[in-house]
Structure 1
Amino acid sequence: MDATLPAVGEELLREIEKVFQETSRVPDDLLSALKFIFGASAVPALDLADHQSVTRIVSPSGRTVYQVLGSSGKLYTCYASCHFCSCPAFAFSVLRKGDSLLCKHLLAIYLSRALGTCHELTVSNKQLTRLLLMDESFSLS
Structure 2
Amino acid sequence: DEEIDKLGFFFPSTLVVGALDLIDRNCVIKYTTLWGRSHYQVLGSMGTYVVFPSLTQSPSMPSFCSCPAFSYTVLLSHTHLMCKHVLATRIADRLKRCVERSLGADELGSLLSSQHSNM
Band of TM-score, shorter chain: 0.7 to 0.9
Picking from 97, 100, 108, the partner of 1:128 is 108
Aligned residue type for 1:30: E
Using the size of structure 2 for normalisation, the TM-score is 0.80
Query: Alignment partner of 2:54: what SS?
Result: helix
Quote the RMSD (CA, aligned, Å): 1.8
Picking from 56, 59, 62, the partner of 2:30 is 56
Kept after mapping to 2: 8 A contact 1:65/1:80: no
* CA deviation vs aligned residue, 1:54-88 (integer Å, no higher than 9, x gap): 11011124332111111x15211111232111100
Please state if 1:114 is matched with 2:88: no
Residue 45 of structure 1: aligned partner: 19
Residue 79 of structure 2: aligned partner: 99
Aligned residue type for 1:120: E
Kept after mapping to 2: 8 A contact 1:57/1:65: yes
- For residues 115 and 51 of structure 1, the distance between their equivalents in structure 2, rounded to whole angstroms, comes to 14
Which residues of structure 2 form unaligned runs of 5+?
A: 56-62
Picking from 51, 76, 81, the partner of 1:78 is 51
Please state if 1:69 is matched with 2:34: no
* CA deviation vs aligned residue, 1:86-128 (integer Å, no higher than 9, x gap): 1000111111111111110010011112333211111112211
Using the size of structure 1 for normalisation, the TM-score is 0.69
